[in-house]
Amino acid sequence: MTIDDDIAQLLWVGFEDQHAPNPKYGAIVLFKRNLVLDGEGRCDLGALVALCETLRAGGGLVAIDQEGGRVQRVKEPATVWPPMMAFDRIADDTGLAEQVGRAMGDELRALGIDIDFAPVLDVHTNPANPIIGDRAFGRDAGTVSRRALAFARGLAAAGVLACGKHFPGHGDTATDSHLELPRIDHAGPRLETVELAPFAAAHALPMIMTAHVVFAALDADRPATLSRAVVTGLLRERFGYPGVIVSDDLDMKAIAATMGADVAAIAAIRAGCDALLLCRDRDNQLLAEEGLRKAAETDAELRGRIAESAARIRAMKQAHAQAAARPPLDVVGCAAHRALAQRLAS
- Exactly one of 178, 186, 299, 320 is catalytic; name it: 178
Burial of 182 (0-12, 13-18, 19+ CB in 10 A): buried
- Exactly one of 114, 248, 251, 281 is catalytic; name it: 248
Sequential DSSP letters for 195-248: TSHHHHT-TT-SEEEE-S-EETTT-SSS-GGG-HIIIIIIIIIIS---SEEEPP
User: Which residues have CB under 8 Å from 55's CB, separation 6+?
Assistant: 20, 23, 28, 62
Report the alpha-carbon angle 219-223-224, nearest 5. 75
Phi, psi (degrees; rounded to nearest 5) at 32: -55, -35
Q: How many CB atoms lie within 10 A of CB 38?
A: 10
- Reduce the DSSP state of residue 28 to 3 states and report it: strand
| C-alpha closest to that of 169 among 184, 152, 150, 151 | 184
Active-site annotation holds for 178: yes
Q: How many CB atoms lie within 10 A of CB 95?
A: 11
Asked whether 120 and 69 are in contact (CB, 8 A), the reply is no
Q: Which residues pair with 209 in a beta bridge?
A: 246
**Strands 276-278, 11-13: pairing kind:** parallel
Active-site annotation holds for 122: no
User: Which residues have CB under 8 Å from 159's CB, separation 6+?
Assistant: 105, 109, 320, 323, 324, 325, 326
Q: How many CA atoms lie within 13 A of 342 on its CB side?
A: 7
The set of catalytic residues is: 178, 248
